[in-house]
Amino acid sequence: MIKVGVVGGTGYTGVELLRLIAQHPEMRLQVITSRKEVGVAVADLFPSLRGAVTLTFSDPAKAALTDCELVFFATPNGVAMEQVRELLEAGVRVIDLAADFRLKDVAEWERWYGMTHACPDLVEGAVYGLPEVNRDHIRSANLVANPGCYPTAVQLGLLPLVETGVVDIDHLIADAKSGVSGAGRKAEIPILMAEASDNFKAYGVAGHRHLPEICQGLALAAGKDVGLTFVPHLTPMIRGIHATMYARLTRQHVDVQAIFEARYAAEPFVDVLPHGGHPDTRSVRASNICRIAVHRPQGGDTVVVLSVIDNLVKGAAGQAIHNANLMFDWPETLGLTQLPVMP
């Protein structure tokens, strides 16, 4: 059993991470930090963890994170990069659930995130934590950049087509919808109940921070740059992402259903539905599963891929646990076999 630290345990991703770690048979929570809730019992802030987590929140500046063997950062962008070097030098392995180490082009990262990177020399050695792509590299990694929620759903939906070279990669489209928990646990007018409920809107059409991350992953799969139009939407639900991808076939006589089934046949957390399926976000709620369906309307040359995940689990905390399982040579599904919640 390893000692685990969580930096930033008060957000939606943080509490989901605590829920999963508390149920993991090989992890023991050693320290949980929060700048605002120092000294508060975790179970007092999150009654759902009562009886499972007995720690209190520690001051990040005083927490003994170097006593841990693994530290998760469930913090806003720009926090992990200020602390990672000290942990790595102390022999602690790190999984960052924010975006600090996802983009290999540091200048591109600084342009999209509007800040100077604190440790650009560590970026190249960080491993992008999408297990379905980088499984072998994750096993030996000391620093893992956990993917974003939209990038997880979109990349898993498009990778089989891009990898096999059967679509026009210059004109890919991803139309994605997310629940309001994706915006974080904070008080902002657009995500207030009276604003988000009974409403539906697009945002970030001119450019979203997850766009370069998605393009980076697809370009690696294709061996060259891709052209992607990515449009995110906010939906009046708490959890879930539904991404609809469109691509134009460059080969007419191809069985797209077979391509997806073959690509994900051995993946424990990707479920390719039978031909004609329509996955919904409720079917993956609170689970680490990505469900995918692929269509070819009217037998034409347009492929439509439907991909659904729980943004807080497969899109964040669950994927982080999956990465930890790989890093410590445990079974990949350890602590992640929870079935989706219904209704």
Q: For residue range 220-251, what is the model confidence (pLDDT) as tens digits? A: 999 999 999 999 999 999 999 999 999 999 99
Query: Are 121 and 159 in a shared domain?
Result: no
Which of 316, 239, 312, 313 is closest to 281 using CA atoms?
239
Kind of pairing between the strands at 127-128 and 302-309: unpaired
- Mean pLDDT value across the chain: 96
Determine contact, residues 219/230, Cβ cutoff 8 Å. Answer: no
H or E segment and range at residue 270: strand 270-272
Flag the least confident range among 20-24, 57-61, 143-147, 254-258: 57-61
Q: What does the alpha-carbon distance between residue 163 and residue 287 come to, in Å, rounded to a whole number? A: 27
H or E segment and range at residue 160: helix 149-164
pLDDT score of 186 more than 80 = no
The tokens 């329509």 sit on which residue? 278
Query: Are 175 and 272 in a shared domain?
Result: yes
Which of 172, 306, 305, 163 is closest to 248 using CA atoms?
172
Determine contact, residues 200/234, Cβ cutoff 8 Å. Answer: yes
Q: What does the alpha-carbon distance between residue 206 and residue 333 come to, in Å, rounded to a whole number? A: 38
Query: Are 98 and 207 in a shared domain?
Result: no
- Looking up residue 263, the CATH number of its domain turns out to be 3.30.360.10
pLDDT score of 136 more than 80 = yes
Query: Are 159 and 302 in a shared domain?
Result: yes
Q: Which are the contacts of 199, defined by CB distance < 8 A and separation ≥ 6?
A: 234, 236
Tens-place pLDDT, residues 145-155 = 999 999 999 99
Which of 312, 308, 315, 306 is closest to 281 using CA atoms?
308
> Would you say residue 131 lies in a domain?
no
Query: Are 163 and 296 in a shared domain?
Result: yes
pLDDT score of 131 more than 90 = yes
Q: What is the DSSP string of 322-343?
A: HHHHHHTT--TTTT--PPPP--
Query: Are 304 and 155 in a shared domain?
Result: yes
pLDDT score of 196 more than 90 = no
The tokens 């790989």 sit on which residue? 326
Q: What does the alpha-carbon distance between residue 147 and residue 288 come to, in Å, rounded to a whole number? A: 14
Determine contact, residues 45/51, Cβ cutoff 8 Å. Answer: no
Q: What does the alpha-carbon distance between residue 225 and residue 203 come to, in Å, rounded to a whole number? A: 24
The burial of 297, by beta-carbon neighbours within 10 Å (0-12 exposed, 13-18 middle, 19 or more buried), is given as exposed
Catalytic residue among 68, 119, 149, 290: 149
> Would you say residue 334 lies in a domain?
no
> Would you say residue 343 lies in a domain?
no
Query: Are 33 and 121 in a shared domain?
Result: yes
Query: Are 177 and 66 in a shared domain?
Result: no
pLDDT score of 187 more than 80 = no
> Would you say residue 137 lies in a domain?
no
Q: How many structural domains are present in the chain? A: 2
Asked if residue 60 has a cis previous peptide bond (ω within 30° of 0), the answer is no
Query: Are 159 and 201 in a shared domain?
Result: yes
> Would you say residue 254 lies in a domain?
yes
68 is catalytic: no
> Would you say residue 341 lies in a domain?
no
Q: Which are the contacts of 169, defined by CB distance < 8 A and separation ≥ 6?
A: 162, 218, 222, 224, 226, 227
Q: Which are the contacts of 253, defined by CB distance < 8 A and separation ≥ 6?
A: none
Query: In the predicted model, what is the mean pLDDT of residues 33-42?
Result: 94
Tens-place pLDDT, residues 262-273 = 999 999 999 999
- Looking up residue 49, the CATH number of its domain turns out to be 3.40.50.720
How many CB atoms are closer than 10 A to CB 130?
21
Flag the least confident range among 31-40, 157-166, 189-198, 282-291: 189-198
Q: What does the alpha-carbon distance between residue 228 and residue 214 come to, in Å, rounded to a whole number? A: 9
pLDDT score of 185 more than 90 = no
Supply the pLDDT for residue 191: 78
Query: Are 17 and 107 in a shared domain?
Result: yes
Query: In the predicted model, what is the mean pLDDT of residues 183-208?
Result: 86
Query: Are 174 and 288 in a shared domain?
Result: yes
- The percentage of residues in the chain with a pLDDT greater than 70, rounded to a whole number, is 100
> Would you say residue 273 lies in a domain?
yes
Tens-place pLDDT, residues 105-118 = 999 999 999 999 99
Q: What are the Cα distances from residue 308, in Å, to 46, 178, 212, 233?
A: 27, 10, 21, 14
Q: Supply the range of the domain harboring residue 101.
A: 2-125
Supply the pLDDT for residue 21: 98
